[in-house]
Amino acid sequence: MRTLRRTLLLLAALLCALLGAVQPASAHTGLVSSSPKDGADLAKAPDRLTLTFDEAVDLADVRVLTVDGDRLPVSGTAKKSVVRVALNSPADGKFAVVWSVVDEEDGHASSGRIAFTAGTAATRADGDESPAAAPAPSPSVRKGLVAVRWAGYLALALFVGGLAFVALLWPGGTHEPRARALLGLAWTGGLLATVAAVGLQGAYTSFGGLRDALRPATFADVLATEPGIVLAARGLMWVLAAVVLSALLQGGPATSRSPGWRVGALAVTFGLLRTTGMTGHNSEGSEPTWGAVADFVHLLGAALWIGGLAMLALAVLPRRQTGELARVVPGYSKLAAVSVTGIVGAGLVLAWQVVGSYGALLHTSYGHLLLVKTAVLGGVLVAAYASRQWVRTRLDLAVLLRGDAATVRPFGYSVAVETGLVLVVLAVTSLLVTADPGR
């Protein structure tokens, strides 16, 4: 069993090293131009359509359909950002196609339509005067993807933050049923959210429905793409996290002080945070390296803050043991202050990296969501400040009164409000990941 654990932890460290490379900067794939142009009036119907995108694309990720829903063959060129579409000798008259492409970096789907007229022939005999609408992801699939990402963010924060809280501040919590249940629930939720994200990502990029998210072929298609590989790596990280968690829960406080366990825990934590950040917008700017570093710090700070907050509210405070309150609460207060500083600083870097200007902040949907997130975060910080003031002025009294319920209750209310608002922040963050970046 020891050999197996050491092997898994070594694999985790190697995987983290492989995933540590910064991805090149790119925004969601968009169409730059087409030949013929949209709305062109041609003397003769062309045999092919040329599409030029703003970055290199994989031919498997490009789909072009006729009005009747027939898929047209797509071929590559010397430039990886340019593809050719065979039109199969269309008749003179009105002609329209709809195109879609999946971003290789984050799996975001973009789409549009192109229509033109050729020759002097009349419009289609069936009277179809308008081209088909551009394909778009199913609203139900999009909502499901947002919900799964919210659950994934929450599970990540509870697991990483809760694990750090127990290992660093409250080693005795390894024997507390509430703490064990919270860590186990976080691990289960993280693994299930990752598996569900694979199917939903496939249905999202193929413009399918919720049923498509359950098909094995959908999983196979997604795992062959770069976003799918990242999701698979995250799933492996959650499997390795089970080894770290079980070792801690079985070994107790002594394990949390073991150098071998700490190396394994750090490797798994790095892997979970990095694979989560790789599917975001942090690399979409002029400085992708700083974006990746800021995103990692942002996620780590949020995890330490939120996970510790949940562990404090659900496992430590209900016990009302004065010795624990005196040891754990001041330590978490300092950790939370450092985490919040990291969150705010890294958040400013990410905001400028992804949004890029005040105009984009004020006049794009991404900017509006970011402002909402900032406003809610401001409310969280107010509640956090109230909690910190209680620690400075009332904790000693609570210890003297041996955890008197009336004395501890205001702190509990402040922590509960803080926790509730944090859930809203995570929901807005999930929406930001699926929204077009402000740039």
Q: What is the pLDDT of residues 352-368, one digit of tens each?
A: 777 766 776 777 777 77
At which of 83, 118, 153 does a domain end? 118
- Residue 186's pLDDT is what? 96
| Cα 64 from Cα 85, distance rounded (Å) | 8
Mean pLDDT of all residues in 391-406: 58
Q: How many angstroms separate the first and last alpha carbons of the chain?
A: 50
Same domain? 102 vs 172: no
- Residue 72's pLDDT is what? 81
**Residue 158: which domain range?**
8-17+138-434
Strands 109-118 and 41-42 turn out to be: parallel
Same domain? 72 vs 221: no
User: How many CB atoms sit inside 10 A of residue 400's CB?
Assistant: 11
Phi then psi dihedrals of residue 171, to 5 deg? -60, -30
User: How many CB atoms sit inside 10 A of residue 75's CB?
Assistant: 10
Whether 23 is in a domain gets the answer no
| Cα 223 from Cα 389, distance rounded (Å) | 49
- The overall average pLDDT reported for the chain is 77
Same domain? 253 vs 283: yes
Question: What is the residue whose two structure tokens read 């394909």?
Answer: 135
Task: Check which CATH number belongs to the domain holding 98 and give it.
Answer: 2.60.40.1220
Same domain? 151 vs 54: no
Same domain? 85 vs 188: no
pTM higher than 0.85, yes or no? no
| Cα 257 from Cα 315, distance rounded (Å) | 21
Same domain? 287 vs 425: yes
Tokens of 331: 């330590």
Whether 331 is in a domain gets the answer yes
Q: CA-based angle 339:344:346, to the nearest 5?
A: 90
Residue 4 has pLDDT above 50, yes or no: no
Tokens of 294: 């800021």
Whether 25 is in a domain gets the answer no
| Cα 100 from Cα 205, distance rounded (Å) | 9
Same domain? 108 vs 163: no
Residue 142 has pLDDT above 80, yes or no: yes
Whether 85 is in a domain gets the answer yes
- Tally of domains in the chain: 2
At which of 50, 83, 118 does a domain end? 118
Whether 211 is in a domain gets the answer yes
Residue 341 has pLDDT above 90, yes or no: no
Residue 173 has pLDDT above 70, yes or no: yes
Whether 287 is in a domain gets the answer yes
Same domain? 94 vs 195: no
- Residue 198's pLDDT is what? 92
Q: What percent of the chain has pLDDT over 90?
A: 17
Same domain? 343 vs 390: yes
| Cα 283 from Cα 277, distance rounded (Å) | 9
SS3 content of the chain, % helix, strand, coil (to 5): 65, 10, 25
Whether 127 is in a domain gets the answer no
Same domain? 74 vs 46: yes
Whether 126 is in a domain gets the answer no
pLDDT band at 37 (very low <50, low <70, confident <90, very high): confident
At which of 67, 85, 118 does a domain end? 118
CA atoms within 13 A on the CB side of 199: 14
Same domain? 104 vs 150: no
Same domain? 97 vs 205: no
Which of 13-27, 216-230, 255-269, 273-287 is predicted with the least confidence, judged by mean pLDDT? 13-27
